[in-house]
Amino acid sequence: MSIEPATFDARTHKALADTALRKTLRDVTAVILDSRAAGLARLPHSDDWRDHARRIRAHTLSRLDHYVDQFVDAVESKGGQVFYAGTASDAVSYIRDLAIAKRVKLVAKSKSMVTEEIELNKGLESAGVRVVETDLGEYIVQLAQDRPSHIVMPIMHMTRHQVADLFKQKLGATDEEVADIPEMTQLARRVLRQEFINADMGISGCNFAVAETGSITTCTNEGNGRLCTTMPRIHVAVVGIERIVPTVHDLGVMLNVLARSSTGQNLTVYSNIVNGARGAGTERAEGDGPDEFHVVLVDNGRTAVLGSERAEILYCIRCGACLNTCPVFQQIGGHAYGAVYPGPIGAVLTPSLQGLEHFNDLPQASSLCGACKDVCPVRIDIPRMLLSLRATSVDTGRSPAWVGLGIHALRWVSTRPALFRLAGAAAARATRLLARDNWITKMPGHLSAWTKTRDFPALATTSFQERWQAKRRGAR
């Protein structure tokens, strides 16, 4: 996973200075959150569905080795081939070598965050294989030589006018062909249709893999995923090992909460269940689908996370709801995070998979308001894990010196009651001197970042302990 060259601070300031981006983020996320609320309202006892979905994820990950083995056996029984990739480079090497061996010239690719994570396109292109993203948003990102800014809506950061200009520049589109969104969509369909026909290999991600049947499920709203998995002679599904569910019944539960949490739909328009290659068994000899079916199971740090206190982050079903509700994401967007997975989920998943040394700032990009946990369809406790990562940053000396010193000083004072009371009284007097009408409008040093955008309340002259003791004395 590549790292953006600029610092997180620099990327954040750039995003905050882009008023058009911030307005777009606020407008789009507001609409999506309203749709989510309406979608869940249409599902009777939706909280019970979410609780059940969480139990499925918890159970599956507690026995992941068993369900991975069951899934592999089921895929292979249908003529498919499974490769377990311990690292991103292992996954890319397998797919690249397969493409070379099969003389693949063109790959039609469906939307997949895990292929973004392992930088699959770069690996295939280095071998002379042309890769075409076929999800409309991903196709636009590819044309712009950009990267997705949202795990569900890749071009949330772009306006239709920017897309129109891009189509003119890259596709030679006329004014009529980019006059409105339907016209631009039709143009993209005409261009991509030939790519589907000519592709030698189709590559897809996987929303859920079913252990009992060896099935791959993809959820899209465009139909491109269906074309990528059935038209080319080779289909490669790239699957994070955590995306497994035990049974088809469990799949039904997950699909019910996924679309509603993501876009507010009852179900995505195309919920495809793929079961191996054509000809895998006499009943399929005359059926549709690819001649070969390959599944690449990607670990890339997931096993290590599974054994840590942040294992719960692997419950994620990539609905994007936590991004949409996060007040930080609503202000800075996805690119500011500098990694494939943005928002609250990325602030935990990215440093957990890739290490804190490069992504130490991400856990700090949160107000800890808890909105992400409230909207999560499987109730992942993201705030708890953000605090865990922040504590690790302090303990390992990766946080800024002033933060580490401040935390250690607070710990030392807090464990000495008399000193704590004295420090509290001193802080109350100091803030009163700085305050005007009980509010501080300008704080010194690093604390000034707070008062650049909001006022800070002066501390009370009487502490809670003093008020409590006075209350007890009065009660006597």
Q: pLDDT tens, position by position, for the chain (476 residues)?
A: 555 667 898 999 999 999 999 999 999 999 999 999 999 999 999 999 999 999 999 999 999 999 999 999 999 999 999 999 999 999 999 999 999 999 999 999 999 999 999 999 999 999 999 999 999 999 999 999 999 999 999 999 999 999 999 999 999 999 999 999 999 999 999 999 999 999 999 999 999 999 999 999 999 999 999 999 999 999 999 999 999 999 999 999 999 999 999 999 999 999 999 998 876 554 545 567 899 999 999 999 999 999 899 999 999 999 999 999 999 999 999 999 999 999 999 999 999 999 998 899 999 999 999 999 999 999 999 999 999 999 998 888 887 777 778 888 888 999 999 999 899 889 888 888 888 888 999 988 878 888 888 899 988 888 888 889 888 888 76
Q: Whose CA is closest to 60, among 207, 240, 250?
A: 250
Name the residue among 151, 283, 129 with its Cα closest to residue 207. Answer: 151
List Cβ<8 Å contacts ≥24 apart for 466-473. Answer: none
Distance CA 122, CA 436 (A): 57
Number of domains in the chain: 2
Choose the final residue of a domain: 282, 300, 318: 300
Q: Is residue 156 part of a domain?
A: yes
Is 144 part of a structural domain of the chain? yes
| Last residue within a domain, chosen from 253, 274, 300 | 300
End-to-end CA distance of the chain: 65
CB 11 within 8 A of CB 331: no
Q: State whether residue 449 is helix, strand or coil.
A: helix
Evaluate whether residue 266 is within a structural domain.
yes
Question: What is the C-alpha separation between 275 and 217, in angstroms, rounded?
Answer: 9
Task: Please indicate, yes or no, if residue 83 is contained in any of the structural domains.
Answer: yes
Q: For residue 170, tell me if it sits in a domain.
A: yes
| pTM (whole model) above 0.85 | yes
What is the Cα–Cα distance from 399 to 411, expressed in whole angstroms? Answer: 16
Q: Give residue 76's domain range.
A: 43-300
CB 429 within 8 A of CB 423: no
- Angle between helix axes 343-354 and 382-395 (nearest 10 degrees) is 40
Which of the listed residues 300, 330, 345 is the one where a domain comes to its end?
A: 300
Contacts of 177 (CB under 8 A, 6+ apart): 167, 183, 184, 186, 187
**Closest by Cα among 437, 455, 79 to 235:** 79
Q: Which two tokens stand for residue 355?
A: 């290490």
In a domain, 116, yes or no: yes
Rg of the Cα trace of the chain? Answer: 26
Considering the domain architecture, whether residues 267 and 148 belong to the same structural domain is answered as yes
